[in-house]
Structure 1
């Protein structure tokens, strides 16, 4: 059964800090290698979710250990470090965990709606490598639908709370006259862009220099927002002369060190990257504040209280979609039996048993087809209710269909036998 072989193994912010999670972050190259290795091991349906708050592998496999070994084979961290910190979910518990993650209930910041987009990308990447089967695709689509329903029907993701916005809150608390400060923002991906917008919209920041490995991408955002850019090669020089440096890249390790910040004066450094892209040594620089995503997630906000009150509504919506998926899975298990029953009903007029009742094939083919559809629909309903075993439901469907053909005149009595079919069935 696919449900029993569905496993989730991972680590998240609850038991690990950014330094540990960074060891198990997965880039696209490693992700592609992992999927190729999985197929070589006969694991053909899986994906990996790697974000700043978690790294999880979702897959249909003989064991969780196999998935854990796969994940660690393509990350900097090893299995000995991973195992004591990891959690494992299987079967129904794994499915429920998937829904909670996709809906933002398991996020470091409750109601984080960005997570569902990250999952979509992870599933899309795996599907492009032929690693998503019908079960995992249906499960994922149902989880996405659930997330959307919660977004539309509750306030779980209401208000403005995210890592990018938490950085703004932090700056408000720790920096005065902020609109006149000199900013350097390194990394212009989604988080970098959102942070940049927040700096302008909420803090009135004007002096912002964007730095990105792809200078063309930085230029597009700079043109949109009226900002400056600097080449990546000037990262250290620009950071040294800035009051506030925000790093939101996906580099595999630190790109900014204490020795790069060789000027004097107060400096705030915000690292929104996992793994860390600002070396921890900068804390030893005088008049320096360094914070990362874990620090920012601890900031309290009234919005979070509102979101917490929405959790029961979200759980109720999740339950309804879980039931929908359960019904789909139950029907999927019954498909072979339903197909066999349909074929039997189509062939019944040619079988020896039916002919032994001295009946002829029906004259009205359209009516016969409708009768078969009705019988199969009734069979599906019975099997979904689980009130009968598949075998009993199958036999009862055949019996009901024969009675129906006789009572409605769909099957014609042979001329050499005047007795009714009903009497022959007793």
Structure 2
């Protein structure tokens, strides 16, 4: 029976947020009049101070969080942006203090929460390895023993005596991860910083984390929005929502619940159909699905609706983002010639993204839809209208896993068609 290595009881973290009262834009004349009035008031009564204090609000990033982690567990922490994932890791890493609750950790902790955390920009890569190792509590002899392995893993040996300030973000994260993974902490905490590196190095890091847990019995906490990576690496998952743990358990069970919740939240927006009475236009359904054949996978996005009267040049736009909101494709009407002309009655339009796994890596992607009329503005706008999961080609091989992160926005080739009854 493995011993408990991390114990958290009723953990909470509160922040005080200040809101300034927003003022409308003013002209130079308005500002001069305001200044003159203020000066006159001060002359009449110099003791009046009308400066208003900002509105102060309490925000609980985490509240009443309790759990136990056993030695050797590979824990994936999932949830939407703002759920409290990074705050939890910062508290466990002793970067920030909790407001309430108690934490008991048995063993040394190595954290990789931001690119180059703990690095000094003016020092060389070699010097930063020793500095970062000392921060992690390692002896100089221990660092020397692991030095060659760290440099070889990071693949920055050619620049090891160059100041870190001259490194690219990818080079810094390579070296930072290599130090954290090779200096033998009992607990390794990794936020989603691996997305900075290239595909081959990301796969290498995931393989290393899997190795140190399965073969060396160390514990890993891994935050990621890429569900395929969490499924592959972790055996336990914690789902955070609004600062609280919504569900814990086996990784597949928790991720399935998380993805089902995203699907139900997206589909509930339609709730049968949406009607715009002014233009006599209805939106009935939005479907996204993948069709596979022997050679390729095609993502299809189909939008259906009804026009009560004849409408010219109806524009349908499709935006695809990752589950954490990163834009990967944005198809506007002029880009795909996706105007629906002279429609009346039932109508549907289909966007086909062919060979989708060539352009997008494995993970969950959200489909966002906007319907508009030129010169009249937006009629329908649905965020997270549908969700699609694209499996990785080969998480440790030569596939395009995480490939979208290298180039950011991806101009996906798309075919468009529509029909009207």
Give TM-score, length-normalised by structure 1: 0.24
**Which of these two proteins has the greater Rg computed from alpha carbons?**
1
Higher strand share: 2
Higher helix share: 1
